[in-house]
Copies of this chain bind each other. A is one copy, B any other.
Amino acid sequence: MWQLLQFPLCPFSRKVRLMLGEKGVGYELVRESPWLHRDEFIDLNPAGTTPVMVQGQLRLRDSWAICEYFEETIDRAPMIPGDAAARAEIRRLVAWFDEKFFREVVGPLMEERMLKRLVHRASPDAKILREAMKNANGHLDYIDWLIDHRRWLGGPVLSLADLAAAAHLSVADYLGGIDWRGHEQTKQWYAGLKSRPSFRPMLSERMEVITPPPHYDKVDFWE
């Protein structure tokens, strides 16, 4: 059985968990708080980041490497499907969410609303929060545009692009950083993902001391 070291609001771990769920790979969750810099964790992953996956002597570090590993070893439910050009487009969007959306939206929200509360015992910076939420709105416009042109974000079928986007969006949403008004296309696409068996268990988990907004775990946002 794989062990997956993570914390509930790690967007990169969520992306991996969605992929493992779609592929039907079992794993045991192990809580890791990377901001504590535990020696044993740094031994496992010198980069100091979650997720890390362990099975026997095998260690997988870095969410990109982990996703490609399971895409290569588990044929079920291909998440980087299609020809080389289609796969490049899916990977471009995964990088978009892992890098750009994380840097402009999720990272600042985690810093201001999670790490400042859990670690630094400081108040969030309202200006940084406003900027992150404004950036989020621009990203939702881009997702709206993608869904106007394609069935799923990366192309005609569900792919790692959708899982990466949903993973990051779900963390931003938990932290109150997403204003869904005026983004009906994205809302419907996200409702579809929320209702998948790979997603549902994550929505019931909570990060200590931080409460998500009421719509967070509702598939249709309001019930």
Docked Cα-Cα span, A64 to B89, in Å, equals 11
Q: Mark A29-61, 1 if CB is under 8 A from B, else 0.
A: 000000000000000001100000000001011
Interface class of chain A by DSSP: helix
Docked Cα-Cα span, A3 to B45, in Å, equals 37
Docked Cα-Cα span, A95 to B94, in Å, equals 14
Docked Cα-Cα span, A129 to B223, in Å, equals 53
Contact A62 B142 (CB under 8 A): no
Interface residues on A, range: 20 to 34
In whole Å, how far is A199's beta carbon from the nearest beta carbon of chain B? 25
Query: Which residues on B sit within 8 Å (CB–CB) of A69?
Result: 84-85, 87-88
Contacts of A67-91 to chain B: CB distance below 8 A: 68-69, 72-73, 84-85, 87-89, 91
